[in-house]
Amino acid sequence: MRKLISIITILLLVSVFSSSCSSIGIGKKEKKMITIKMLTESKAKSADLMKHLKEKFPRINFQVTDFETVWSKEFTPHEERIERAREIIAEEKPDFYYGFDPKWYKEDIQLVDLTLLINQEQTQFNEIQQNMIESATNDDGTLYFISATFDREVLFINRALFQKNGVPEPVNPMTFDELRKSAKLINEKNPGLFGYELQQKEWLFTLMQVGRKFLGFKFINDNGQLMIDQPEWRDLAQQLLDDYKSKIMRDEDTRLQKADRKRIALNPGYASDLYSYLSVKATADTLSIVDVPTDPSNPIANPFILTSPFSIVPSSNYIKEIWEVISYLMTEEAALEISNKRLMSGFVTYPGMAPIGDFTIQSFAGKVSGNKINESFFLTQEAYKKMNNAMEEQFQAYIQETSDFDTIWAAIEKGVKEINLDSSNFKSAP
């Protein structure tokens, strides 16, 4: 009997010991394979990243669906792609999204508030990441997107052109009027040079870029009415058109070539354009990266651009695992891989890791200040297209001197009035 009791005791101890070992990782079984569904816009743009993640997280099978492949396979007409994207979102029921804002396709989509995960997991971030997260946080404190890389709007000052032509280099920060004055001085000294560049494909977009971002003008008011028929927009439109006609300003839909960069004194653009400047051997002695022009009385915030945004679906069974992946991508270890293998576009958030010569990321990764652009309404695509087509037609008439400014602006005002009369031309901001 005693022998039997001894045997039972030993078996119990072995059982407890085995259980304890398993709880602390000794003899622990391998975690089961799981499949996490990711939805993105382009598989080609995410292929290298997913290959790396599969190597880093071997127990996770990433099932990737992308819009471009479906559109191509089904020969989806361009005008039907947004609606098809909405259907794909409903059909696929992904666990998370990568590389785009799903709300752009489906306004009522639900996403996880990532601040809850950050606090729950006590995830640590460096200063640039903290600035980026604060920039992406909504007014109500929610955060739906996070990114391991970023970009920012900046102003490039071609210091070499100012020095060579004996024109005083503009001082940062500057207003848009000060930018134009410096641009005119350069052009007067050397008519073969452009004072500034606003490279866009459409005049409406160009007007919006300057009016909203540099000057703080309202594009659509809180009552859902288009505002570009107002006097301040009229004055700005004439300034831009006259600068274009006199070749002070370059505004083309063609991509800047290396030779063009050497002929432009002031270029508002994205910090990532720096790589193009580096290709023509720019250095901190010949080029400055400064803040975009702003109105001191109404400074508009310059948010971080999340070039590789992740967002998570609340109904997913793998929220913790997805956050583990995202948290890894925010580490210095991952930043090295991202930078060396170019797994994502934009700049990694660790200074010194981006190959940008003697320039520093700190010059465009600082804390965001100024007022956010919070418009309650947006133009529908149809209304935007209608306004854009009218503006292209009228602005070209002025440029080609087949019509005067009063006439072309009267046509713009008429187009604005027609759009404002129909409330279906506007949709509420998500």
Residue type, 251: D
Same domain, 227 and 278: yes
Residues 130 and 166 in one domain: no
User: Does any domain span residue 17?
Assistant: no
77 within domain boundaries: yes
Note whether 251 and 202 are same-domain residues.
Answer: yes
**Paired sense of beta strands 309-312 and 146-147, if any:** antiparallel
Joined tokens for residue 344: 């994502």
Task: Determine what percent of the chain falls in helix, strand and coil, rounding each to the nearest 5.
Answer: 45, 15, 40
157 shares its domain with 294: yes
Q: What region, left, alpha or beta, does residue 92 occupy, with left being phi > 0 and alpha being psi -120 to 50 degrees? A: alpha
Are residue 73 and residue 207 in the same domain, yes or no?
A: no
43 lies in the same domain as 182: no
CATH for 275: 3.40.190.10
Question: Is 365 a member of any domain?
Answer: no
In a domain, 10, yes or no: no
Over residues 359-414, the pLDDT tens digits come to: 999 889 999 999 988 888 999 989 999 999 999 999 999 999 999 999 999 999 99
Structurally, the chain folds into a number of domains equal to 2
CA distance 321 to 329: 13
234-236-242 Cα angle (round to 5)? 100
Q: How far apart are CA 142 and CA 124, in angstroms?
A: 18
| Complete edge-to-edge strand list for the sheet that includes strand 194-197 | 249-250, 194-197, 264-270, 153-158, 287-290
Q: Are residues 283 and 244 in the same domain?
A: yes
pLDDT in the model for residue 280: 85
Q: What is the pLDDT of residues 263-287, one digit of tens each?
A: 899 999 999 999 989 988 899 999 9
Are 296 and 324 within one domain?
Answer: no
Give every CB contact of residue 179 below 8 A, 6+ residues apart in sequence: 155, 170, 196, 266, 293
Q: What is the mean pLDDT of the chain?
A: 89
Domain that holds residue 67: 34-150+305-358
pTM of the model: 0.86
d(CA 353, CA 332) in angstroms, rounded, equals 9
Is residue 351 located within the same domain as residue 244? no
